Amino acid sequence: MTCLLHWNRKTVKHNPALPLTKRTDFMLISELLGPENIHLDVQTTSKKRLLEIISEQLARNSSDDSAREIFESMCARERLGSTGLGKGVAIPHGRVSGNRSIQASFIRLKYPLPFDSTDGEPVDLLFAMTVPEDSTEDHLKLLAHIAELFSNPELLKGLREASDSSTLLQLLNDNRPGSPPLNRTVGRPGTRP
């Protein structure tokens, strides 16, 4: 099966080997996450420890980055302002020098944790990622895409109820924000997935 991506009416063949800054398409969640990058019922007692756990998970998926570099980058970003969006969702992220591609992880906590979110509510769903240090506009587009995705209350309910990582990944792949328009087809352009 060939996965074709449509972005701004331009069709390009999926090539996850290219770093985001060199790509002409927009990444789908399925390009960023696999079942091995989804962690359910994670338990921790502090935001700092959670960022350490996330950093360790992301470092395992990268030959470029150390857990320490990732942790320091995420802490630096959190010092600028919390990445807690509200409604129990956070998108901790950071830029890492030497990083050539995006690394991502999805974490569902067993018990919600205070995260200094905009609404003051504790967080239980986190989409964490690192991007290359020189990634700017594409990085911001990706963050906006993910934030919009997680503004869907039905999706959040499904993510909290999903029994396993495959089900959770399917929910993420099946839900796309309404804007910007992003369509995924399998096979030929014009076919329905």
Residue in this structure with the two tokens 């240090």, named with its chain if needed: 133
Buried-exposed string 20-29: b where 16+ CB fall within 10 A, e elsewhere? bbebebbbbb
Residues that are catalytic? 93
CA angle 104/81/132 to nearest 5° reads: 35
**Helix H or strand E segment including 146:** helix 137-149
Measured distance CA(163)–CA(4) in Å, rounded: 29
3-state secondary structure of 35: helix
Measured distance CA(71)–CA(59) in Å, rounded: 10
Cβ-based neighbours of 135, under 8 Å, separated by 6 or more: 19, 20, 21, 95, 102
